[in-house]
Structure 1
Amino acid sequence: MNKKLLGVIDATTYYDDLKELTTHRSLAALPFAGRYRLIDFVLSSMVNSNIQSVAIFPKYQYRSLMDHLGSGKNWELDRKRDGLFFFPSPNLDTPSAGIGSFTHFAANLDYLYKSTQEYAIIANCYTIFNMNFQPVLDRHIDMGCDITEICHNGQSLDMYLVKKRLLIELIEERQKTGYTCMKDVVNGLAPYTLCTYEYPELAYKIDSILAYYETSMKILHPFVLDNLFIPTQPIFTKVKDEPPTRYQKEAVIKSAMVANGCMINGTIENSIISRGVKIGKGSVISNSIIMQKCQIGDNCVIDSAILDKDVRVESGTVMNGTSKKPLVIRKGTVQGALMNS
């Protein structure tokens, strides 16, 4: 059963509403929950489903994605046979056709020809979930399906299970059929047996700043946290050797996730703090997401904000967003007291 599924991750998606966070990185590499990237969830789900060969198809700003994944060692995909593969888009100016672009796949058909797996799971890179794909495969085979679309609460998760031979046929016949991606096939009048698989657990699509913010706040709740980070199905990520976070006497932490390597002097409440963040004395961080290596001075007030990596906030600065419109500060910028929001 281990070699029956081939993993294919479409990392070409771009959402204009997320441009403030994806100017310097692909959506797949967007940090999440302090230590992870969005792609960690689908990739870990594949590895935990005993998928040993995974192909990633990136398009935009994928340097940070490749740096994060490397050889796939942290996911046990650095192997002599199968493993992790990157296939950047050959048509960078071509608009995305949807999850599983046949044009993108066509440029890398050799990979599909040479793979030994009989079935392929085609997935997006921007869903927060923790899923075992083996039950989907079992149901797909038992019901004699040609294509199985994975859904959540009746809505498509933009994930599809298909026999590899049929996938190759769809790619090769795309100009005759007019189908550009898997979604076209599912929504069209194709002569195939189409099935749906309802995924009953938690799943969140990150397709906007608000979705990213609200999902991040949700994982601070124990129920959501326990249902996403399952000990028997761990979410893997790039390992970094950093010291534990140091909490000074003045530090106050309430309902927060704090990664390693930080220096905390202020108050953190209902927030997510990434690796290597420094927070000064008297500063209060609430309902916010602070990404890696941000530096926050003394006596700052930050509420309902998203600070991208390497942001520096000068002492005395006040920054306020709202739960429906969080304040977003771009990577590497400096925020001063005279720029109070």
Structure 2
Amino acid sequence: MNESMLGIINATNDFTSLGNVTAHRSLAALPFGGRYRLIDFMLSNMVHSGIQSVAIFTGYENRSLMDHLGSGKQWDLDRKRDGLFVFTPNCQLEEEEFGSFSHLARNYDYFKRSRQEYVVVTNANIIVAMNFKPILHRHIATGADITEVQHAGRSLQTYILKKQLLMSLFEQYKDQGYYKLCDIIMEKRHEMHIHSYEFTGYTAVIDSIDSYYSRSMDLLRPEVWQQVFQPQAPVFTKVKDEPPARYRSCSKVRNAIIANGSIIEGTVEGSIVFRAVKVGAGTVIRGSIVMQKSQIGNNCILEHVILDKDVKIEDGTVLIGTPEAPYVVQKGMVQGALMKS
């Protein structure tokens, strides 16, 4: 029996609740966990599941995502046959016409030529370590039309179905007014054989600043870290050539993730610090996320803060947020002591 799978990752989702952190990038390219992007997790899952052909459908803000993905080499998807395929939107379409089914239908020939029998359809904003092979075996054993993956009773909008069925849905969607695959599943749940597969491992869906912050902080818990970053199934990402992090004699670090290339002179507690970040002497950072290449001066206090890339925090600045409403500083901004919050 042909049990080969084709992977489809929908990277078109955009949530206004994420505010400034997705103003200049795709949600799929949002930095996460110190050195990764959101899409790395689901893309790595597919590779570990033996999927050798992956199609990614992007939205309009896709420059950083395209730069990150490159040829797919980091995921062993730079192949002569199959490999990584990135499909960008048609810029001539009206925004309200732009949806994942529109993407898929415009690239119908790609699916027609592919040799895989089954398709995995999922989103780019899910943090999970999931192998699709057991789900496919359950799908085949139950004889389902579609298998829907759930976590704690909530749909992850992750589906396995035969490629031929997906193609037939493409042909019908315009006439019947469907926008995405999940729309069909919701409406035709009683007409099709839809099997629910309950995934019990750690799962996080990033769709707001609150979920981004809280799920990032989850990684500081050993039991979560061990579920997300498994030795037998590493999360692949674009490699950056940075030296190891440097800790000055005056630094204090406790329960934190510090990426390579960073220089720490102050105190970092319960925080995530990305690559090439400078933390000045006398500075205290607690419960915060500091993205790559941000520069934090001396004698600053940052609590429950999210700093985007290339932010500069001047000496003596105080920025205070809360776990429920973290203080967010936009990419490339300069924050000084007179602007403290």
Q: TM-score, normalised by structure 1?
A: 0.97
* Equivalent residues of 1:242, 1:261 under 8 A apart: yes
Q: SS of the residue aligned with 2:127?
A: strand
Structure 1 unaligned spans of 5+? none
Q: SS of the residue aligned with 1:95?
A: helix
- In structure 1, distance between residues paired with 2:50 and 2:261: 32
Residues 172 and 321 of structure 1: CA distance in aligned 2, closer, same or farther (over 3 Å): same
**Equivalent in the alignment of 1:168:** 167
Give runs of aligned pairs for residues 179-328 of structure 1, distance below 5 A. 179-189=178-188, 191-328=191-328
Give runs of aligned pairs for residues 1-341 of structure 1, distance below 5 A. 4-90=4-90, 93-95=94-96, 101-189=100-188, 191-341=191-341
Q: CA deviation at 1:162?
A: 1.2
Q: Counterpart amino acid of 1:297? A: G
Task: Percent identity, please.
Answer: 53
- In structure 2, distance between residues paired with 1:280 and 1:181: 48
Q: SS of the residue aligned with 2:96?
A: coil
Cα deviation digits, residues 260-318 of structure 1 (max 9, x gap): 00111000000000000001100000000000000000000000000000000000000
Residues 96 and 329 of structure 1: CA distance in aligned 2, closer, same or farther (over 3 Å): farther
Q: Counterpart amino acid of 2:105? A: A
* Equivalent residues of 1:269, 1:287 under 8 A apart: yes
Q: CA deviation at 1:97?
A: 7.0
- In structure 1, distance between residues paired with 2:2 and 2:225: 28
Cα deviation digits, residues 84-126 of structure 1 (max 9, x gap): 001111155323776xx22211110011001000010000010
Q: CA deviation at 1:19?
A: 2.4
Structure 1: which 4+ aligned runs deviate by more than 4 Å? none
- In structure 2, distance between residues paired with 1:330 and 1:314: 15
Of stretches 193-202 and 173-182 in structure 1, the one that deviates more from structure 2 is 173-182
Structure 2 unaligned spans of 5+? none
Q: SS of the residue aligned with 2:65?
A: helix
Q: CA deviation at 1:60?
A: 2.6
Q: Counterpart amino acid of 2:104? A: F
* Equivalent residues of 1:55, 1:85 under 8 A apart: yes
Cα deviation digits, residues 215-248 of structure 1 (max 9, x gap): 0011100000001100001110011111011110
Cα deviation digits, residues 154-192 of structure 1 (max 9, x gap): 000011111100000000111233322111111113632
